[in-house]
Chains A and B, each alone.
Chain A
Amino acid sequence: MARIGVFVCHCGENIGRTVDVPSVARAAQGFPGVVVSKDNKYTCSEPGQAIIREAIREHMLTGVVIAACSPHMHERTFRRVCASAGLNPFLCEIANIREHCSWIHEDRGEATAKAIDLVRLAVEKVKRNIPLETISIPIERKALVIGGGIAGIQAALDIADGGREVILVEKEPSIGGHMSQLSETFPTLDCSQCILTPRMVEVAQHPRIRLMTYSEVESVDGYVGNFDVTIRKKARKVDATICTGCGACMTACVQRKVSNEFDEGLSKRTAIYTPFPQAVPNIPVIDQMKCLRILSQKKGKQDACGKCLDACAIGAIRFDQEDELVTEKVGAIVVATGYSLYSIGKEQDSPDISGYGEYGYGTIPDVIDGMQFERLASASGPTAGKILRPSDGKEPKRIVFLQCIGSRDRAKGIDYCSKICCMYVAKHTMLYRHKVHDGQATVFYMDVRANGKGYDEFTRRAIEEDGAVYMRGRVSRMYRDGDVIKVVGFDTLAGEPVTIDADMVVLATAIRPRPGIKDLAQKLSISYDKHGFLNEAHPKLRPVETNTAGVFLAGACQAPRDIPDTVATASSAAAKVLGLFSQESLEREPTVARVDISHCAGCFTCERVCPYGAIGHREIRDRQGRLIKTVADVNPGVCQGCGTCQATCPSKSVELMGFTDEQIFAEVNAILA
């Protein structure tokens, strides 16, 4: 038997002025199931709350309706009041007679009639509520960070410094990411490696960080607080436990003509290699596609070479080493996989993107991209920091920089802005002038986007102090004429076509998501946009969370981003992880879906429409263990309570607690009674 208490609030004058509150309370007294109905000036106040508590005890209420302001204001407050009086908090409903009634209507009669209907609706609903307990899920207080660039490094350090264990997985042989390839960073012109390598070392030495390099995430199962992750530790072919990093193997290696990825193809490396001298860990890896011995083994021939085996004094080279699969349980995952760059060639990372035929598809000598310029400028780069032409090693006296290559160009398939190029092009012009005092830099730009702290001043410095000439317009084409590159463009401010002779051209290419990111996103059940950048839960208010509880984003995997913002998002994601881990257990709102296994036919249409992958399969067996049927099963820890499953279910076998069909029909009946 229902025993409902109704409490109608005046909210001072806010409700009372327009709605005849006492008559609403009187009308409610007559509703079937209502045993007490009162009105009060300020129900949310201490005395107001006390009245409710008292009424619950005195009348042994089985449900409470508060007719007052929006549930978004005080639902939580009143639920707590009920709980404190011994009534299950989910047996409390709010009728919104302020925002949805007294504040939007003027006629007292109309407003009062509407308020009565809304109270009747709430009474019918609460009569059909069932007591629910918040769901408690245990938490594994260990985090997984995927990606060892500056974003992953920062997130890992913050979580570990916060007292929690971290596993940092990086697919390359060393951590450091793109930041380790940079020469200097804007707006301070800090040497990139100088500020990065101490962090890299800190990560390697941190007692709570387990570093797995040359490794990739193979699969992810489970849910927030309870992820089961399988990681593939790729075979380095080197025993990392005894290798001292002496480098003798690299000196001895016979295969010396492999294109060096770290130098963006501007130099060569050996088959056994570390990507750069300050690599962390400083343990080499054998490139299995280029090692002569491994290639001969693959062809079934006699083992070739093996010079590294001889050169290694402690026998750390292990050609028989295999990939290793490791499983770990973690409670939260931070994705920090970074970015890739648009290609200046013809082949692109997606069929929707096309290259710049007008710039020769990357075949014109000495036309390079921004990262290649960084390597030239870098002291540890292929030219020891001298700006020299890749074609003939001469010093270019005239460099033309082109901004927005790929970015903001619908004809090529990309309409976003890559955010960092205006800044690094200005930086490049400055580095160039500092190294080549009589060098002239010209920049073709559409806009100059320099909106961070100290950024505008930085770009002005390039123009005013380092003589960079900024020309507003695009380049329609380039071609090689003898020793010189003809850059044919337009100066829109002067209104004239212009042809500039350049010794070198640097293209500021668009930031792209990393290849393979969609596979990783699907493993994590997180979504991505049409380009492949990972989606945040809310673009303004939840920038580092995803729609999958327990998975967070840091850095450029989400969108083009500079280093300060990357570090900020990494720390932010770490804070979210630490916040998650600081709870005793995870408390989930229990207004989740539940399957009635007697009705469920196992069609799994609900599974297909669930945005969270919260629906799994459950086998129903008889006492002999024989399978009767497989039905849908909602994981209450993952279900967010949207109800799409219930509306989709052909047999109405899955119900959303608090919003069952019966309740909604009762509500409709109530307001139209």
Chain B
Amino acid sequence: METNTPQPAGTFEPRMVAFVCNWCTYTGADLAGTSRLTMEPNVRIVRLPCTGRIDPLFILKALERGADGVIVSGCHPGDCHYTSGNYHARRRFAVFHDLLQFLGFEEDRLTFSWVSASEGMKWKDIVDDAVARVRALGPFRGYDREAVAGSELAGRAA
């Protein structure tokens, strides 16, 4: 899965990034691993201390660099290790979601969830569900990839 070259019909596999908080979802994902729950391999996790750290630009950056879908996941309301970070994340996400809708972005590409450290099964379900949805939507072509590739922004990779 090195490049996002056009795939023959029916073999498209989405590339997805997940921004998760260290205390709940990351640990929940660890639990999914310890429990040997098999899930779709399309998701790569970026570990953050808290969903409160998430800037909507991260989501845009992921999409810009070739992701077809993004997952954001943190602690349940009230359980944030840092007390209120997930509330800020929720609010930011709500506003960002409205903006994306306005831009005509397909909502199903974005998943926002609360997964606690004990919810390994839930994490697996969220991953499988998100991947299935994005697979059905096909590759993300909502922007001019060539324009981005040719710009200086592309040079910032690696």
Contact of A644 among B33, B34, B84 (CB under 8 A): B84
Query: Which of A110, A527, A611 is packed against the most chain B CB atoms within 10 Å?
Result: A611
Q: Does B126 contact A (CB under 8 A)?
A: no
Name the B residues within 8 Å of A672 (CB-CB): 15, 17, 62, 65-67
Name the A residues within 8 Å of B124 (CB-CB): 104
Per-residue B-contact encoding for A589-604, CB less than 8 Å = 1, 0 else: 0010000000000000
Within 8 A of B (CB), among A619-673: 640-644, 646-648, 656, 659, 661, 664-665, 667-673
**In whole angstroms, what is the CA distance A659 to B36 when docked?**
29
**In whole angstroms, what is the CA distance A612 to B61 when docked?**
30
Per-residue B-contact encoding for A534-549, CB less than 8 Å = 1, 0 else: 0000000000000100
**In whole angstroms, what is the CA distance A200 to B23 when docked?**
43
Stretch in contact with the other chain, from A117-125, A134-142, A320-328, A380-388: A117-125
**In whole angstroms, what is the CA distance A672 to B139 when docked?**
14
Stretch in contact with the other chain, from A95-103, A154-162, A395-403: A95-103
Q: Is B17 touching A642 in the complex (CB atoms < 8 A)? A: no
**In whole angstroms, what is the CA distance A613 to B157 when docked?**
36
Q: Is B157 touching A113 in the complex (CB atoms < 8 A)? A: no
Q: Closest approach, in angstroms, between the C-beta of A41 and any C-beta of chain B?
A: 20
Q: Is B38 touching A105 in the complex (CB atoms < 8 A)? A: yes
Q: Closest approach, in angstroms, between the C-beta of A17 and any C-beta of chain B?
A: 12
Stretch in contact with the other chain, from B52-60, B105-113, B141-149: B52-60
With A104-B39, A668-B58 as given contacts, are A647 and B33 in contact (CB-CB < 8 Å)? no
Name the A residues within 8 Å of B27 (CB-CB): 72
Q: Does B158 contact A (CB under 8 A)?
A: yes
With A72-B30, A647-B54 as given contacts, are A591 and B41 in contact (CB-CB < 8 Å)? no
Nearest opposing residue in chain B for A643, CB measure: B53
Q: Is A121 touching B49 in the complex (CB atoms < 8 A)? A: no
Name the A residues within 8 Å of B15 (CB-CB): 672
Q: Is A121 touching B44 in the complex (CB atoms < 8 A)? A: yes
With A114-B44, A644-B53, A647-B92 as given contacts, are A673 and B157 in contact (CB-CB < 8 Å)? yes
Query: Which of B38, B45, B52, B89 is packed against the most chain A CB atoms within 10 Å?
Result: B52
Q: Is A664 touching B46 in the complex (CB atoms < 8 A)? A: yes
Contact of B88 among A96, A100, A647 (CB under 8 A): A647
Q: Does B32 contact A (CB under 8 A)?
A: yes
Q: Closest approach, in angstroms, between the C-beta of A92 and any C-beta of chain B?
A: 14
With A664-B48, A668-B65 as given contacts, are A646 and B53 in contact (CB-CB < 8 Å)? yes
Q: Does A615 contact B (CB under 8 A)?
A: no
Name the B residues within 8 Å of A31 (CB-CB): 158
Q: Does A70 contact B (CB under 8 A)?
A: yes
With A107-B41, A642-B82, A642-B85 as given contacts, are A100 and B62 in contact (CB-CB < 8 Å)? no
Q: Does A368 contact B (CB under 8 A)?
A: no
Name the A residues within 8 Å of B53 (CB-CB): 642-644, 646-647, 656, 659
Contact of A99 among B32, B81, B83, B158 (CB under 8 A): B32
B contacts with A, residue count (CB < 8 A)? 47
Contact of A640 among B57, B65, B82 (CB under 8 A): B82
Q: Does A51 contact B (CB under 8 A)?
A: no
Q: Does B134 contact A (CB under 8 A)?
A: no
**In whole angstroms, what is the CA distance A562 to B84 when docked?**
31
Per-residue B-contact encoding for A20-61, CB less than 8 Å = 1, 0 else: 000000000001100000000000000000000000000000
Within 8 A of A (CB), among B11-36: 15, 17, 26-27, 29-30, 32-34, 36
With A644-B85, A647-B55 as given contacts, are A104 and B49 in contact (CB-CB < 8 Å)? no
Q: Closest approach, in angstroms, between the C-beta of B53 and any C-beta of chain A?
A: 3
Q: Does A358 contact B (CB under 8 A)?
A: no
Q: Does B136 contact A (CB under 8 A)?
A: no
Contact of A98 among B33, B44, B84, B88 (CB under 8 A): B33
Q: Closest approach, in angstroms, between the C-beta of B116 and any C-beta of chain A?
A: 12
Q: Closest approach, in angstroms, between the C-beta of B156 and any C-beta of chain A?
A: 7
Contact of A100 among B1, B33, B36, B55 (CB under 8 A): B33
Name the A residues within 8 Å of B100 (CB-CB): none
**In whole angstroms, what is the CA distance A670 to B34 when docked?**
26
Contact of A668 among B50, B61, B84 (CB under 8 A): B61
Per-residue B-contact encoding for A63-101, CB less than 8 Å = 1, 0 else: 000000011100000000000000000000000101111
**In whole angstroms, what is the CA distance A527 to B44 when docked?**
36
Name the A residues within 8 Å of B39 (CB-CB): 104-105
Name the B residues within 8 Å of A114 (CB-CB): 41, 44
Q: Is A659 touching B49 in the complex (CB atoms < 8 A)? A: yes
With A105-B41, A646-B53 as given contacts, are A611 and B58 in contact (CB-CB < 8 Å)? no
Name the B residues within 8 Å of A611 (CB-CB): 80, 82-85
Nearest opposing residue in chain B for A663, CB measure: B46
Query: Which of A96, A100, A124 is packed against the most chain B CB atoms within 10 Å?
Result: A100
With A104-B37, A105-B41, A642-B85 as given contacts, are A669 and B65 in contact (CB-CB < 8 Å)? yes
Nearest opposing residue in chain A for B31, CB measure: A99
**In whole angstroms, what is the CA distance A100 to B54 when docked?**
21
Name the B residues within 8 Å of A527 (CB-CB): 83
Q: Closest approach, in angstroms, between the C-beta of B129 and any C-beta of chain A?
A: 15
Name the A residues within 8 Å of B48 (CB-CB): 643, 659, 664
Can you spell out 27 A-B residue pairs with CB atoms less than 8 angstroms apart?
A: A72-B26, A99-B30, A99-B32, A99-B34, A103-B34, A104-B37, A111-B41, A113-B41, A114-B44, A117-B44, A121-B44, A591-B49, A642-B49, A642-B53, A643-B49, A644-B52, A644-B85, A664-B48, A664-B58, A668-B58, A668-B61, A668-B62, A668-B67, A670-B158, A671-B44, A672-B67, A673-B157
Chain B interface (Cβ < 8 Å from any Cβ of A) = 1-2, 15, 17, 26-27, 29-30, 32-34, 36-39, 41, 44-50, 52-55, 57-58, 61-62, 65-67, 80-85, 88-89, 92, 124, 156-158
Chain A interface (Cβ < 8 Å from any Cβ of B) = 31-32, 70-72, 96, 98-101, 103-107, 110-111, 113-114, 117-118, 120-121, 124, 527, 547, 591, 609, 611-612, 640-644, 646-648, 656, 659, 661, 664-665, 667-673
List 5 other contacts, CB 8 Å, given A104-B33, A642-B82. A104-B36, A104-B124, A664-B46, A664-B58, A668-B62
For the complex of A and B, 3 pairs with smallest distance between CB atoms: A99-B33, A643-B53, A642-B82
